[in-house]
Structures are given as C-alpha cells and as structure tokens.
Structure 1
Amino acid sequence: MDQDDILSSLKDYEEILQSEVYVDVDRLRILARHGVPQQIRGEVWKYLLGVERADRCKSPITIPPQRLEEYGQIDKTDPDVAKRIRGEVNRYQRKVKELEGKHFAEQFENVILAYLNTNRNVEYTPGLVALCAPFLYCLDKECDAYYCFERMMQAIDEEVDLNEWVTSWLQNLLAKEMAFEDVLRLWDVYFAILDPLELHPFVCLAILRHVKEKLEDLEQSEIRTILLRLPRLNIRMIVAEAVNLRHETWERQISEDAEL
C-alpha cells in the first residue's frame, strides 16, 4: 500500500470511527480485509473483536473507566508461571524488536497472568506470548490489550481443543512463525471476518504452497527452520489463495455428497 492509499484508507477509517452515534462495524470489516493503518489498528481491532460496542447511544459493554477498574482487580500473581513468562518474553523480545524493553515485558506478564488466573482451565504455554504480542503493540492501554486478547482466546478455545496435539501453526495463528508485520496484517483480515478459524487452515495450506519450492531441495533440519520462522509473505496474495482453496474444497465436498 503506497502513501496515497494509506492516507485515503486512514480517512475512510476515521470517518467511521468519529461517528457520534454508531460505528459501522460492517464497513470496518470490509476495510480491514485490505489492511488497517497502524495508527488506528488498535482502535479498529477493539470494535472488530467486540470489546467496544458500536452503538454509542447505549451504554457500552464495559465503559473504559469500568474496564480499567475491573482489570485492576484481576489477580496477576503466580511466581512460578511469571518466571516462565519472563523467560519466553526475553526470547521473544530478542526476535521482535518492536516489543523490546521492560515496559512491554511487564505488560506481557500482567496480561497473560490475568488471563490465566481468570481462566483456570487454561494452562500456560509459551505460545501465549506470541498471541498476546500484537495487542500490546497495537493498543496503548494494557487493559484494552487484555480484553482484546481475552476475546481472541475465547474464540480459539471454542474452536480448537488446546489439549489435543496440533501444530504450532494452527494453535498459535502463525503468531510465532510469521514476521511480526505479517502477523498484524493477517490478523486485520481475521478480525474482519466472521469465520477466521475456519479460514486459518487454508491460510496455512496457501503458505505451504508459497514456500514449497524453497523447501524441495533442503534437509529436514533446514525445512524445520524455515517453517518455524517464515520469510516475509504477501499476505493479500496468501489470503486470496486461502479463500480460493476453501471454495474449491466446498465445491468438491458438494460434488461428492451429490454422488452419494
């Protein structure tokens, strides 16, 4: 997206977000599929995830002061888990320079512990750090990052059995393997559509197709390295191919059902 496109897109978003009566989330979803400018990505994500209510004439689900107060009351202590989080955050920050620093390290610990202490059935895994990172980067307030993270994790818990073995690609929405900028761009699309977890496996297939030629002549150890740390990707192209793959799968399934 060139500078003129970014400015045009930003104006479109601001027109929606500055509405005094109603934020048109459907329009936000349409725009977000093509990417959200970083300046307002966090604000847009809050609406796409339902943390902010679109109808400003009614009381929001949780108005910001209440949201901050509720978040402040959540227990964020667990020395053993906190130590494990700090270790993974330290490794993650060496890889993702955008989130370096003590400030972010403390936020990672607070948000993840708050989530785990609120959801006692969920066990800590290192992948939670990568899943939390985009929200800390895009949202100014820690409590907003927490509630967006919580909303996304609820969706994952409903669709994916985290106790069942699944690849990191599927379980962590590629947050650990993709370049950070690509994660942000992909999640713009995911939060803009109603069935992101249904599309996600096809995104994974599209990526495999994209990197297939690079993998063909490599040793197993080299293949593993690439799949665990993907090169920069054209997310628009990957998503388009994923949508086509899903459509082809549906058509094939319909055809097979008709033959029965």
Structure 2
Amino acid sequence: MSPSPPLSSASSASSSAASASGSSPSRRRASPPLHSTLQREDFDEVLESEVFVDVNRLRKYARHGVPDEIRGEVWKYLLGVEKPDRSNEFTQRRARYEAYQEIDKENVEVSKRVRGEVTRYLMRTKKDAQLDPHTVPAIFEAVICAYINCNNHIEYSPALIPVCAPFVITMKNECDVYSCFERLADVLYKSSQESNINKRVAQFLSYFRTLMPELYNYFEEEDLDVGEWASSWLRHLLSKELPVPSVLGLWDVYFAMPDYIDFHPFVCLAILKHLKDSLEDLEQSEIRSMLLRLPKMNISRIVSQAYNIRSEIQARYNTSISPRS
C-alpha cells in the first residue's frame, strides 16, 4: 500500500491533533477474543491487496462490526473516499490532500461556536471517545469551517459536532476526517431538507403508532414533544443520542449498506421497542432525557430487530418501503 501524503494542517495545532486522533486514539484495550482476531484477519486480507480492494467483501464483513484499529481505513472505502483500484492510489491521495489544503478554513463566527460545542461534547463523551481535549478541537474547527465555507447554503448547527466526531475518533489525519465527514454530511443534508424531513418524521410516527400503539399513546398522555426527538433521531443517524461505541458499531453497518438512510427509521423503531418497558415506567421529563441520551445497547440485536420490523411493515402495507418515497 502506498503511504498517505504527509498532512500539513490548517494550523500546527490541528496537525498535531491529526496525529493524536488516529484510528486507535490512545485507549486501553483487553486482548481481543479469538473471533475478533479472525475477523481482523478477514479485513486485513482485503485491505492488503496490492491491486484491487474488494469493497463488496468489506461491506459483508463490516455488517458484523469493524475492529477499532482499522475502522477508519475500512470506512474510507465504504464511503467511496478511497478507490478500490490501487493503480493510482498515491496520486489520488495526493490530489485529495492538496485539494483540502486549498480550502479556506477561516470562519471566525463558526470557529467560536465549534470550540464551545466541542468542549461540551468532549465533557459528555470523555469516557467513551477518549479524545485529547488539547489537540482535537483544532481538527473539528478546521474540518467544519472548511465544510461550511465550501457549502454556503448550509448553516452551522451544533449537530455537526457529533456527526463529525466518529471520523475524528477513527481517522489518522485531518484530510481523511474532512473527506469522510463531507460525504456523510452531504447525504444527511439532502435527506433532511425541510419538506423531506417533515415527510419522513410523519411516516416514522405512523409506523410507531401502528407497531407500538401503547407506547405511542403513553407519549401522548405524557404530552411528550414527539417531533423534537424524532426529528433529531432521523436527521443525524443517532450521533447525538447514542453512546460513542454504539454510534461506531451502528455506522459500521450503515456504511456497508447502499440504503442506510432508508433503513435508519427501522433502527429507530427497534430502539423504541427495545426500551419500551423502561420508557413506560418513566414520566415526561425522564422519557425526554432517555430519548435524548440513549443507553448503550447491543447494536447487532437492534439491527436484527430493525430488519424484522421492516419486514413486518412491508407485509402490513403490502409494499416495498422507502421512507423517502
């Protein structure tokens, strides 16, 4: 594999931060169980191919989770940032790196807001994210300012921080963080334009009411603002609500799918079903707190349940479902 071009970030701080936020940012791990080692060997066999990376095999393996140490490398292929054909690998990486260097990363108003939100995010996730608070804020700042400066139609939102965070956690350098974040942010923006998100929320709530009428009615009795949490869940792939390890595991599955935006509402329904008994024991403020800060959960089981729910909905409506149709 050709080496990545050296990264010279927007500032010396963000350059050192890029090194600090590699695919395995300093964290302690127990020895992996045998099945994890075998899984890692499967990924390595694909990634170490000298001519062509079989992305279809990566997708197949990623559906069962990606080892932490190589998640960033795998995501780059799943998101189309790295090309499967390695004949021009170094040239393509160099071009991407140089294009990123040319982007204006100065935005005083956005920078100030990013710094404040990153500080809050790091305090909230310090046990799981394991990010260096002295270095990584510069990466968030440069990447998000670059994205906003390149997309004048998009306004800064605090939600961009948790959407960007998984890439800061898993990627070795700032250019890769930007490239992957840009891919996902573009998809989320297109799926969340106002008329579209309103339609998606309405359809999601219709499924919720059909599948879990008792819980839906209980939310109404408690006068819960369903639109508040449902819109956030659908807009940002649960990056704000789920603990970091759960987000990473869920996104492994999503990036391996061609239609993860369409599949996502069923994951949200599976989470509600998983938490149903707990939620029915809570009052309004407690329900809201749980929905906005979800507990850690077994993502494999949630995804499996989501497939079952999608099949059930398709059978009920006797149709092939697309939440954006």
Which TM-score applies when normalising by structure 2? 0.75
Which residue in 2 is equivalent to 1:33? 63
How far off its partner does 1:100 sit?
A: 3.6
The reply to whether residue 56 of structure 1 matches residue 86 of structure 2 is yes
**Counterparts of 1:103 and 1:209, CA distance in 2:** 39
How far off its partner does 1:61 sit?
A: 10
Which of 113, 125, 134 is residue 96 of structure 1 equivalent to? 125
Which residue in 2 is equivalent to 1:198? 262
Which residue in 2 is equivalent to 1:155? 187
Which of 194, 204, 218 is residue 282 of structure 2 equivalent to? 218
**Counterparts of 2:263 and 2:143, CA distance in 1:** 27
How far off its partner does 1:157 sit?
A: 2.3
Which residue in 2 is equivalent to 1:207? 271
Q: Larger RCO: Structure 1 or Structure 2 (Cα < 8 Å, ≥ 6 residues apart)?
A: 2
Q: Deviations over 1:68-87 (max 9, x none)?
A: 21111111111111111111
Which residue in 2 is equivalent to 1:22? 52
Any gaps of 5 or more consecutive residues in structure 2? 1-31, 202-230, 321-325
Q: Is the 8 A contact 1:190 1:196 kept in 2?
A: yes
**Counterparts of 1:239 and 1:189, CA distance in 2:** 8
Bigger mean CA deviation after superposition, 242-251 or 22-31: 242-251
Give the 4+ runs in structure 1 shifted more than 4 A: 162-166
Q: Is the 8 A contact 1:131 1:175 kept in 2?
A: yes
How far off its partner does 1:115 sit?
A: 0.7
Q: Is the 8 A contact 1:94 1:100 kept in 2?
A: no
Q: Is the 8 A contact 1:162 1:171 kept in 2?
A: no
| Aligned residue type for 1:130 | P
**Counterparts of 1:103 and 1:111, CA distance in 2:** 14
The reply to whether residue 138 of structure 1 matches residue 170 of structure 2 is yes
The reply to whether residue 171 of structure 1 matches residue 235 of structure 2 is yes
RMSD: 1.9
Q: Deviations over 1:198-241 (max 9, x none)?
A: 11001000001111111112110011111111111010000001
| Aligned residue type for 1:228 | L
The reply to whether residue 68 of structure 1 matches residue 97 of structure 2 is yes
Which residue in 1 is equivalent to 2:316? 252
The reply to whether residue 126 of structure 1 matches residue 158 of structure 2 is yes
**Counterparts of 1:202 and 1:254, CA distance in 2:** 16
Q: Is the 8 A contact 2:188 2:236 kept in 1?
A: no
3-state SS of 2:318 partner: helix
Which TM-score applies when normalising by structure 1? 0.93
Bigger mean CA deviation after superposition, 120-129 or 153-162: 153-162
Aligned residue pair count? 255
How far off its partner does 1:60 sit?
A: 4.8
Any gaps of 5 or more consecutive residues in structure 1? none
| Aligned residue type for 2:112 | K
Bigger mean CA deviation after superposition, 149-158 or 191-200: 149-158
How far off its partner does 1:56 sit?
A: 1.4
